[in-house]
Each structure stands twice: as C-alpha cells, then as structure tokens.
Amino acid sequence: MTNDFYERVYELVRQIPSGRVTTYGHIAEALGMRSSARMVGWALNAIALRDRQDIPAHRVVNRFGALSGRQHFETPYAMRERLEAEGVQFIGDEVDLSRHLWAP
C-alpha cells in the first residue's frame, strides 16, 4: 500500500503548475486520506533516495506556506530559490498562499 500511495503522491505533485504551490494536507485530502499529510511528507522525502527529478517537490509547502521540506534539498536555500525562479512570492519566510496556492 505504501508504494502505491507514494506513486499517487508523485503523480499529483507532477500536476502542480509552475509558479504555484500546494500543501501536504491538500495532497492528502485529494488522495482521499485527509489525515495523512505526514505520509505525503514521507513520500516526498523518499524522492531523494529514488533520484526522481521529474517530481517538483519544491512546490509542496506546509499549511502556513513555510518550506518545511527545505532540509531535504541540496542546500537549505534551494527550495526557495527554485520557487522564486518560478515567480513565487514570499511574505517573510513563507510563500504568499493567497497568490500561489493550487488546490488539486
């Protein structure tokens, strides 16, 4: 079941448009597992082990817009740099969700 769930997470993350973000909770809810936001995080953390560059994990943030997954990228700033390169704006250290939130 875990591998199937992970693949469903990856398929949904691939759909997030450039310049937009979604949350772990939005992904979990879209997959019919509303209380499984943490499992979404585990799935995205596993990407590094799989070396799958086709999954834009940098577009997934926590419910406040904070970059809680940034420690899993090559540098602590890579996630923010990728988002800014796509035009995503921040308010302090959090993504401006009022402008950039994509709900699947």
pLDDT tens-place values along the chain, 104 residues long:
568 999 999 999 999 999 999 999 999 999 999 889 999 999 998 886 556 778 999 999 999 999 998 888 888 899 999 999 999 999 999 999 999 999 99
Under the phi-then-psi rule, with left for phi > 0, alpha for psi from -120 to 50, and beta for the rest, what region is 70? alpha
What is the CB-side half-sphere exposure of residue 39 using CA atoms within 13 A?
A: 18
E strand residue ranges, 1-104: 22-23, 60-61, 90-91, 94-95
pLDDT on residue 71: 86
CATH number of 2-100: 1.10.10.10
pLDDT on residue 83: 97
User: Which single residue is written with the structure tokens 């499992």?
Assistant: 39
Residue 84: other Cβ atoms inside 10 A? 12
What pTM value is reported for the model? 0.91
